[in-house]
Amino acid sequence: MSSHPLNLYELNLADLTEFLTGLGEPAYRAKQIWQWLYRQYTPDFATMSNLPQPLRDKLDANATLDIGPIIAEQLSNDNQTKKVLFQLADGQQIETVLMRYEKRRTLCISTQAGCAMGCIFCATGQMGFFRHLNSGEIVAQVIHFARELAAEGEHVTNVVLMGMGEPLHNYENTMTAVDRLTDPTGFNLGARKITISTVGLVPAIRRYADEKRQTPLAVSLHAATDAERDKLIPVNRKWPIADIIEACRYYVAKTGRRITFEWALIAHENDTPEQAQALGRLLQGMLCHVNLIPLNPTQKYGGQPSSRARVNAFQQGLARYGVSSTVRVRRGIDIQAGCGQLKATVQK
């Protein structure tokens, strides 16, 4: 038996029903609580007004809705990006980000405390890996901001699993969380509004393809030759570029869905005409799109973001091979909330 009370966000509706009948409650109560969790985003059991007080007392004694306290919160200078640092039940810490765009409210969600991939330009990778998050800890990050947005008459429009951690390394918990967030009886976010990001775990990409999921896939490539990618992304030595591209083509063939490649543009490293040409050749003819992100600075990596002129030249290089690309709008850089900047105080 865990020393921590059960977080109800770890349960699907069937599990919640079983949990309640185990407490001696009628099964129909599960649906009432489910609505409170995923439609009302209630912060506690006290506000579940259609439940009898004895049941609320039982829930208080045996369960929780709390991911853990927020120990830091930062707002960017333009007020468009907000980052929170949660402390989980065991003391581990994770960061979650809300980004406001003209028509979108996008959440950047963490799937692990730390990350085992060790990408040298990423603050989370520089931290090392501590543990996987369970599905409830992933879901609860979304609910936290859904509650905050609802109070302002707004709602979550998009979720990107691009926070701390490698989602496909924590495959089961990540996909369980995605299934819960897309459940039409629950949070009911469209599958196509949730993007899964990976550095290229080949067996997991193939499994994802076989499951024919509707959630978009983004692959962090960052280099078009193994010599360059080995320097940036250690896992490339296990699954080199040829294997990743083959898995990506398999994904497109299986699902008929476009795949996105993420590319952090590092000045005079991977923004050269040679890299643009190599990438163009690699992706030519594939149903794909390249998302270019001028590098976000981190403490332990000296690389610099590419200049506007070099970004433009790189895009033109890709266009010669018929490969479409866009440059991502950078958000929250002043509060270290950008892509690759998330980290937490290290908890051993």
* Catalytically active residues, by annotation: 95, 339
Out of 25-39, 161-175, 243-257, 296-310, least confident range: 296-310
Q: Say which residue the tokens 């960017």 belong to.
A: 76
**Phi first, then psi: what are they for 7, rounded to 5°?**
-85, 120
Condensed to tens digits (0 to 9), the pLDDT of residues 42-57 reads 999 999 999 999 999 9
Q: Rounded distance, CA 220 to CA 233, Å?
A: 10
Residue 302: pLDDT band with limits 50, 70, 90: confident
pLDDT at 23: 94
Condensed to tens digits (0 to 9), the pLDDT of residues 147-180 reads 999 999 999 999 999 989 999 999 999 999 999 9
pTM confidence score = 0.91
Domains of the chain: 6-64 (1.10.150.530), 70-335 (3.20.20.70)
